[in-house]
Structure 1
């Protein structure tokens, strides 16, 4: 595999305005995410920005390339695809890791782990799952859960994603960590598809892939990193650095 890490980022966040530039311990959040990506040492790191201010924030970060994409793109996956088409039209990189720009505490080892499902040639997309640790985490709508069963394995197949606590009944629930390793051809196919019915209903774009018959594999990690979606999340992360 020849992976490249692309971090989609835009300023238009409704719950936390100008989120990528939020100060965390003296650094903009997007810089902290990019530095974590560099620490993984698995391939080039690109910030796919929807706004010039984001490019300016990472411009002096050695080893990170910034590219300006259309601010009106509908999703992070569309932004990642646009960036990779500009930077690598010949397809030299056959795996594209989509790292969310609101995960400043992501463990660099997780970016290696997300590649593990792609060791199976029938898997189109790799992602991450961590054990749910509390009733709040299980029931919170902002925490996406995965219907899957690892057993004793470290990699398994995702059967469904939901904001509800799936599957029903007693047993371990799994927190989806929104990092994706795309085979290049899978990403090309995905962005060409229209939104699916379940994607619209759950507001989860990965369901478009499942409804289209694509296979998503999950790598197990022990802890879900704290993401930043709200001012409260931001204060929590600031207290951890």
Structure 2
């Protein structure tokens, strides 16, 4: 099956304007932008037929072309990355079987997370959309809870059924955890990466924005609000740390992880 990776990137973020161009210094002291590091993460995924940056702003497009990325210019009316992916599919010469949306603020996404999504959708043709979830350990959970206590919009958690289809995604830490022991119901960090069939993207673009989607600021909730199942694929850390760049305060955290894990 053919699959491509799209990296949606917009300049006009309300919480962090110009975020894709944020400089990040790696283990060797080399500084690269957030969007370039996300592009490098996408290129490390095996079996990919193409990696494209999607944007509506030349302030992002120009530096992306400079470091070698293929750029697809999408409308400035796209309200989120999934709408941007839907707009980009018709710009390709051939429609792929699977479209992966690797968020431009997640340069620490390991290749095997994306590969797990593609494998799940290849094995089960009934899955129209899939997303990775990572079981938190105590340290990871405390980082999520610290963001909420500080009233920062940070990581997202996922709750899913026995079928592995999502029940809900939230910026709150769900399920309620308090001081539960480590063997209690686990908290899963939703990794900001999606895989869709093109038909699901077309359906999404035709649906109205959902109330929960708008309240949480989570694009995937539009699928759930309209009865479209989202399969959660549990992935393993394999010694890698995961965190997204949601706020300026995440920059030193991500740089520390890159240095600790030897990411150049």
Asked whether the two chains share a fold, i.e. TM above 0.5, the reply is: yes
The answer to whether residue 231 in structure 2 is matched with residue 211 in structure 1 is no
Which of the residues 48, 67, 70 maps onto 2:75?
70
Q: Secondary structure at the match of 1:239?
A: helix
Q: Secondary structure at the match of 1:240?
A: helix
Residues 31-40 or 112-121, more deviating: 112-121
Residues 179-188 or 223-232, more deviating: 223-232
Superposition deviation, residue 137 in structure 1: 4.3
Superposition deviation, residue 38 in structure 1: 0.8
CA distance in 2, matches of 1:72, 1:100: 18
Superposition deviation, residue 168 in structure 1: 4.3
Is residue 24–residue 32 contact of structure 2 (8 Å, CA) maintained in 1? yes
RMSD over aligned CA atoms reads: 2.1
The answer to whether residue 247 in structure 2 is matched with residue 230 in structure 1 is yes
CA distance in 1, matches of 2:55, 2:169: 27
Q: Secondary structure at the match of 1:33?
A: helix
Q: Secondary structure at the match of 1:54?
A: helix
Superposition deviation, residue 180 in structure 1: 0.3
Is residue 20–residue 60 contact of structure 2 (8 Å, CA) maintained in 1? yes
Partner of 2:194: 180
Q: TM-score, normalised by structure 1?
A: 0.88
Superposition deviation, residue 103 in structure 1: 0.8
Q: Secondary structure at the match of 2:194?
A: strand
Q: What whole-Å deviation, never above 9, does each CA across 1:104-144 have from its counterpart, x for those lacking one?
A: 11111211012233122221101000012234345436322
Is residue 69–residue 79 contact of structure 1 (8 Å, CA) maintained in 2? yes
The answer to whether residue 168 in structure 2 is matched with residue 160 in structure 1 is yes
CA distance in 1, matches of 2:185, 2:144: 11
Report the CA distance shift for 1:117/1:217 in structure 2 as closer, same or farther (over 3 A): farther
Partner of 2:157: 145
Which of the residues 129, 133, 147 maps onto 1:129?
133
Residues 74-83 or 4-13, more deviating: 74-83
Runs (4 or more) in structure 1 with deviation over 6 Å come to none
Is residue 144–residue 175 contact of structure 1 (8 Å, CA) maintained in 2? yes
The answer to whether residue 85 in structure 2 is matched with residue 80 in structure 1 is yes
Q: What whole-Å deviation, never above 9, does each CA across 1:172-231 have from its counterpart, x for those lacking one?
A: 111111100001101110111001232223332211101222121111123462111211
CA distance in 2, matches of 1:172, 1:138: 13
Length, aligned pairs only = 234
Residues 110-119 or 175-184, more deviating: 110-119
CA distance in 2, matches of 1:12, 1:201: 19
Q: Secondary structure at the match of 1:24?
A: strand
Partner of 2:262: none
- The gaps in structure 1 that reach 5 residues or longer are none
- The gaps in structure 2 that reach 5 residues or longer are 26-30, 178-183, 259-264
